[in-house]
Amino acid sequence: MKIAVAGTGYVGLVTGVCLAEYGHSVTCVDIDENKISLMQSGISPIYEPGLQDLMKKNMAKLLFTSNYVEAYHNADVIFIGVGTPEKPDGSADLQYVYGVAEQIANSVKNDCVIVVKSTVPIGTNDKIQELIESNLKHDVKVSVASNPEFLSQGSAVKDTLHSSRIVIGVEDKSAGEILKQVYEEFNAPILVTNRKSAEMIKYASNDFLALKISFINEIANLCEIIGADIEDVAHGMGFDGRIGNKFLNAGIGYGGSCFPKDTKALHWLANFHDYELRTVKAAIDVNENQKLKLYKKSRRYFDSLKGLTVAVLGLTFKPGTDDLREAPTLVNIPLMIEDGAIVKAWDPVGIENFQKLYSDDITYSTSIEETLREADVCFIFTEWDEVKQVDLSIFNLVMKTPIVLDGRNCFNIHEVKKHKIVYDSIGRETVN
Ligand code: UGA
């Protein structure tokens, strides 16, 4: 089977490389010539654990090109894995998906299945089918299938090689059979349904997870007020299999390229159909507030951050990625700078991307100790292992005043109590 993948971001590239790992020959297409030449020399343009090695291992089965006509014209299966960013009104911007669909329509010369991996609003796959059919240049049969991905950044390769499930949404049975063949080696449960249900499974899954996080964050906020401990509360809840013990980590809110966008997009879509998704709306609102939780907490210790040295540990929206999209730091650091704080930031992989946004106003370091030196306060935004494993005595040793505001509950409260630091985390007692 000849397989092409459009887009070489997190979804497209990981899909292409994993399909190659399971034996397929794959042509990856991107309009960005720089990315293509990097990949042609075996270098992954994105940071994702295991991706670089897997790519190198499978280079003989991978082709990278910006020539889409060449890639699509005789492909049997074409995956679309391009971005669907959020528009200012919260709806999904589909220009890249539709752009690729037109390119496909202009190029294909034999029957093929177009597989939409990008997260698209319910009904989009039907529109893509119509768009392609009305733009075809040859007399061929094209079937569009929805095949959402469920990978998380930072574990994208593992999540794809060992998928929790493969969801295939088709209107035509034979397309479903072809996709089942593509995924034959993947050893994951396969659910075949219609296109709209497949699209909805993706949104409902992400929005449910976002809801779970916003719920536990609200409970954490209440725990702080009434003196309960969120870690114990989440632990106790998690024993119930109906609740599950995952995704109950309280913190400063969810970020990334998926939950913020997908909650807003489904809410927007429901509104468009005159329906208000109230639970999803609540998850969005709670998250917006939660992102400012640490900044607000700093007011307990200082009237303003003006003239203070603030050490920031972690810039990315979560560990294991250099991605900054919707990261809480993007709202917090500008506030600190506006206040007149002197910001020193540490992150193992996110500095380069952050520097593109704030080059002059921040001192960056790849040493936690250097970042903390002489700081008046420390904000922890990302639970990197390097932070979780830090020797707790360092705060008192190198900071001017050892006040630690932890947005990711990185440390055990009992351990913290053995050190002379002020420690304020999420949903737990304050140590001082
Ligand atoms: C998320 C989903 O987890 C994937 O299943 C989905 O495929 C993906 O979106 C997508 O649609 O592409 P991702 O955004 O990479 O994956 O990251 P997550 O690990 O889910 O974390 C998202 C955010 O939630 C992070 O900011 C993280 O810190 C936060 N989070 C997660 C919490 O605050 N608490 C938790 O218990 C879990």
Query: How confident is the model over 138-179, as pLDDT tens digits?
Result: 999 999 999 999 999 889 999 999 999 999 999 999 999 999
How far apart are the C-alpha atoms of 209 and 203, rounded to whole Å? 10
Torsion of CA 222, 224, 230, 233, to 10 degrees: -60
* Ligand 1 centroid, distance to 318 Cα (angstroms): 8
321 is in an annotated binding site: no
Is residue 258 flagged as an active site residue? Answer: yes
Predicted ipTM of the assembly: 0.97
What residue owns the CA closest to ligand 1's atom 7? Answer: 150
Residue 154's pLDDT is what? 86
Q: Which domains does the chain have, with CATH numbers?
A: 2-193 (3.40.50.720), 202-290 (1.10.1040.10), 293-424 (3.40.50.720)
Ligand 1 pocket: which of 14, 152, 235 to mutate (most atoms within 8 A of CB): 152
Residue 88's pLDDT is what? 86
How far apart are the C-alpha atoms of 143 and 145, rounded to whole Å? 6
Residue 359's pLDDT is what? 75
* Ligand 1 centroid, distance to 103 Cα (angstroms): 32
How far apart are the C-alpha atoms of 224 and 297, rounded to whole Å? 12
**Which of 95, 130, 97, 132 is CA-nearest to residue 112?**
132
Q: What residues in the chain have per-residue pLDDT under 70?
A: none
* Ligand 1 centroid, distance to 90 Cα (angstroms): 19
Q: What global pTM score does this model have? A: 0.93
371 is in an annotated binding site: no
Residue 358's pLDDT is what? 82
Residue 86's pLDDT is what? 80
Work out the number of other CB atoms within 10 angstroms of the CB of residue 37: 13
